[in-house]
Amino acid sequence: MKRIWQLPRPWLAVPLVWLFFFLALNSLVGDSPTMDEQNHLARGLAFLRTGDPRLSLEHPPLVNSLSALPLLTLPGIRLPTDDASWEQPEGWYRFAELLLWEYNHDVTRMVFLARLPVVFLTLGLALVGLCFAQALWGSRGSPGSRGSRGSPAGWLAFFALLFDPNILAHGRYSTTDVGGTAFLLLATFLLWRLWSRPGWDWPRLLAAGLGLGLAFGSKLSTLGFVPIFALLALLPLYGERWGWRPAGRRLAQYLLAGLLSLGVVWAIFGFQWDVMQFRSPALAGLNSWRGPMPTFWAGIEQIAGLSGGGRGAAFLLGQFSTTGFPAYFPVAFLVKTPLATLLLLPLALLLLLRSRATRARGLFLLIPAGVYFLLSTQSALNIGYRHLLPMLALLYVFMSGLGPLVQQGGNRALRWGVGLFPAGLLLATLAVHPHYLSFFNLPAGGPANGYKILIDSNVDWGQDLLRLQAWMAANEVDEVNLSWFGSADPAYYGLNYRPLPGLPRHFDLWWDVPFNSADPEPGVYAISVSNLWEIPLQEEKYVFPWFRQRSPDDRVGYSILIYRVPGEQD
């Protein structure tokens, strides 16, 4: 096993990247537009075409704009700027609906092109992880070492960040989760470079300011790391003894980098200057003032409200809550993190924190990961494991510190554990291909059991509509009774269906159920697993209890359950 680590690992980059692109592209072409993609695509394209970031209220324009760039090669695309939704504060959903499903008629090409830049951002995330791990752990694990191109730490992080099924799942969609994670990891890396060199290094300070600006301009949730980075600045983790002077210097460097980052964010918003757009009574008095990027400040206000009050009912293990579950993210981490990662993480905690030579650098990664995780448990926005991706990226860079220990001749258990980790991770990824979004580890019962534990973007985000179309053709089913969880339009794909209560389409049918829920009429029923739990109904669940009491007759991917209700003649 030790000989594996003596191979010229840079030569592994080419086949690994080829394999990554194959898995990403081969799976994304089979996934229908997911729930949030049309909104992100509309934000990015509208900003690129008009220079107006008004739709970028909940998500800054950086990742959305990068995602929409290839769509500029389609000159025939029409923006619904002539519709009233363009002028309405909450018109972004209607605007996106019109853009994708009514004003234009090439959804497949638009979605494919918008997903491609995110695939490259995922590769960028892995490259940042490689550079971070090599700089942090080095070829010999020495503090502040630059490492080498053959450092096992770098390649271990690179592999994990490319082939973790949760990262691969969201690294193929035109959303902001992986892009935000990539830029946040970059900002963390640049802060480490800044603080690991005593004194003032102005080029590194400028680079840190740029990295922070890219992170804050990619996803608003990255702002949760503002106090976490301040805490890291004060801690003695950089080869210097603790003292007020070095701690104060690092904090001053961080504040300067933070000020520079605001300029970067303003540039990302197209140097928007307009009246403020606050909605809460406490801040509404500021709306008479003009200032830079009012959309950004209004978005922070809105996201803070969502985090405190949630967005609809949260689901966990058959239970529902409008205020979220403190156990939501701990459970999500245990059931959706690959088993290989869960097994190697305790070993990394033991070995890297036990040694004085690696403890400080390990804590630099573990403290932000741990604090972010604790903050997540207090959030009412319980809609997906994807919100843990920033923590997961930090953990993989942390775990990569085991690589140099193996290279230095660690014991047999360590060598086998680290050596088998890539194989275990890749096996889990290949086993679930192409259904990465629905990944659950084996102790949780695998993806087929996942909807009984978590729903929404953990398993069902509307990704299997194209596969339902293929299933109907293969099984000679002319019509289905469809309860659809997703923003994609089934009629666009020519599906012959009778609508059942859904989300967001046919939302009104939850209170005007079009079938006998106690004794369903004969036919084929296709029910998205998120809808099976009747999330829109807060208390009494009266639409699908008949189906919840039965095992499905078939399934499409892992997000649509098929039930055949026979007639008297059958």
Q: What is the pLDDT of residues 105-148, one digit of tens each?
A: 899 999 999 999 999 999 999 999 999 999 999 844 443 344 44
C-alpha 236/C-alpha 433 separation (Å) is 44
Q: Is residue 431 situated within a structural domain? A: no
* Token pair listed for 257: 């980098």
* Containing structural domain, residue 512: 457-565
User: What's the start-to-end Cα distance of the chain, in Å?
Assistant: 60
Any idea which of 20-24, 153-157, 284-288 has the lowest mean pLDDT?
A: 284-288
Asked if residue 525 lies in contact with residue 565, where contact means CB atoms within 8 angstroms, the answer is: yes
β-pairing, 485-486 with 480-483?
unpaired
- Confidence category of residue 243, pLDDT binned at 50, 70, 90: confident
Judged on CB neighbours under 10 Å (0-12, 13-18, 19+), 235 is middle
C-alpha distances in angstroms, 252 versus 187, 235, 237, 259, 509?
16, 14, 16, 11, 57
The answer to whether residue 128 is domain-embedded is no
Sign of CA dihedral 98, 102, 103, 106: positive
Give yes or no for residue 507 having a pLDDT over 70.
yes
Report residue 307 as tokens. Answer: 């985090």
Vertex 64 angle, CA 61 and 70, to 5° = 125
Round the average pLDDT of the chain to a whole number and report it.
92
The answer to whether the CB of 67 falls within 8 A of the CB of 41 is yes
Phi, psi of 411 (to 5 degrees): -70, 170
In a domain, 442, yes or no: no
What is the SS3 assignment for 164? Answer: coil
The residue from 61, 87, 105 where one domain ends is: 105
Residue 524's DSSP bridge partners are: 564
| Residue 70 near residue 118, CB atoms below 8 Å | no
Show which of 105, 133, 161 is a domain's final residue. Answer: 105
Cα pseudo-dihedral 292, 298, 299, 305, rounded to 10: 150
The number of folded domains in the chain is: 2
C-alpha 87 chain-centroid distance: 29
Rounded to whole angstroms, the Cα distance separating 430 from 484 reads: 27
The torsion angles phi and psi of 146, rounded to 5 degrees, stand at: -75, -20
Across residues 43-54, what is the average pLDDT?
96
Query: How far is residue 377's CA from residue 73's CA, in Å, rounded to a whole number?
Result: 42
pLDDT band at 163 (very low <50, low <70, confident <90, very high): very high
Report if residue 340 sits inside a domain. Answer: no
Is position 148 within any domain?
no
The tokens of 262 are what?
């605001």
- 70 domain residue, yes or no: yes
Furthest-apart CA pair in the chain: how many Å? Answer: 85
**Boundary (domain end) residue, out of 75, 105, 135:** 105
Residue 1 belongs to some domain of the structure: no
Query: Phi and psi for 98 in degrees, rounded to 5?
Result: -65, -45
Decide if pLDDT at 478 tops 80: yes
Judge whether 58 lies within some domain. yes
343-397 pLDDT, tens digit per residue, is: 999 999 999 999 999 999 999 999 999 999 999 999 988 999 999 999 999 999 9
